[in-house]
Amino acid sequence: MQARRSSSPSVVPDVGAGSASRQQPVEYKVLDQIPGPLEAGLNALGEEGWQLVATTPAFIFRRPRLEDGDGLRARVGFAAPKG
């Protein structure tokens, strides 16, 4: 399995409650092949928050880039609000 990450961050609109003007950074993962059986490999990547967005020229996944104050990744959908 070969993984490549985009060097420049992409930004997608945050469509959360009433925040149409905010944008949330995302990160990408590019794989030439899915590890193991296809369905199991896709499910494992989904558990890590990756969403499949393209299959040509490779399997391209993206997920929101969320970090806590220590630089550790917060779990998508389970991060406690700051403030």
The per-residue pLDDT for 21 is: 56
The answer to whether residue 26 sits within a structural domain is yes
CA-only gyration radius of the chain, Å? 14
- The residue segments making up the domain with residue 23 are 3-64
Residue range 32-83, pLDDT digits in tens: 999 899 999 999 999 999 999 999 999 999 999 977 555 545 444 444 444 4
Give the SS3 label for residue 74: coil
The answer to whether residue 45 sits within a structural domain is yes
Q: How many Cα atoms occupy the beta-carbon half-sphere of 45 within 13 Å?
A: 25
Please state, in angstroms and rounded to a whole number, the distance separating the CA atoms of residues 57 and 72. 31
The answer to whether residue 82 sits within a structural domain is no
∠ CA(37), CA(39), CA(40), 5° rounding? Answer: 65
Q: Does pLDDT of 5 surpass 70?
A: no
The answer to whether residue 73 sits within a structural domain is no
Domain count, the chain: 1
The answer to whether residue 34 sits within a structural domain is yes
Q: Does pLDDT of 18 surpass 80?
A: no
pTM for the full model? 0.55
Short-list 33, 64, 35, 34, CA closest to 48: 64
